[in-house]
Amino acid sequence: MKRIIAIALLLSAGSLSAQTRNIPSVTADKLMARTAAGKDTTYIINFWATWCAPCVAELPQFDVLEQRYKGKKVKVLLVSLDFPDAYPAQLKAYVDKKELKPEVLWLSETDANKFIPKINSAWSGAIPATMILNKARNYNAFLEKTIKDFEVSTMVDDIK
């Protein structure tokens, strides 16, 4: 009986760890290079942090967008601006707890004066912020505010 319980505990621990996903760290240069490489893809990129209440409140909107554009050439990325001491453990725990659907990345740069101009020179650095990019269509929109999924969908669907 003890052996059966031990095996059950090991299996359940294994299934829990299987749910944990990797959250890669990126620089602004790598993030922007990725969007440039996917020229026929529209990117919805949200900049957020676990300590930002408005950011956390809007995260479900990106789950909706991820589902709406599943199988289409639209990629939703959640780029965390959490502090280095929160990466990776606290950020992974948060993402797993909230069961976020889109891909999550962590921006490893901390000098906003250096990374902001690489992303969008008009960005004040406030979060939440959402960028919608399509290189093939020369489309670049930057929203420095809390968004709703239908607002972003309208913009994405209008890209021609």
**Structural domains of the chain, ranges and CATH numbers in brackets:** 23-158 (3.40.30.10)
Supply the pLDDT for residue 20: 65
Using alpha carbons only, how large is the chain's radius of gyration in Å? 18
User: Quick one: what percent of the chain has pLDDT higher than 90?
Assistant: 84
Supply the pLDDT for residue 19: 53
Contact 23, 96 (CB under 8 A): no
- Give one word for 138, left, alpha or beta, with left for phi > 0 and alpha for psi -120 to 50: left
Contact 134, 159 (CB under 8 A): yes
Average pLDDT over all residues of the chain: 89
- How far apart are the C-alpha atoms of 45 and 36, rounded to whole Å? 13
Supply the pLDDT for residue 9: 39
User: Quick one: what percent of the chain has pLDDT higher than 70?
Assistant: 88
Q: Name the amino acid, one letter, at 7.
A: I
Supply the pLDDT for residue 91: 97
| CA contacts within 13 A on the Cβ side of 25 | 11
Per DSSP, helices labelled H in the chain are 2-19, 28-37, 53-68, 89-98, 112-119, 149-158
Supply the pLDDT for residue 39: 81
Supply the pLDDT for residue 58: 97
- How far apart are the C-alpha atoms of 115 and 64, rounded to whole Å? 28
Supply the pLDDT for residue 21: 82
- How far apart are the C-alpha atoms of 155 and 150, rounded to whole Å? 9
List the chain residues with pLDDT less than 70. Answer: 1-20
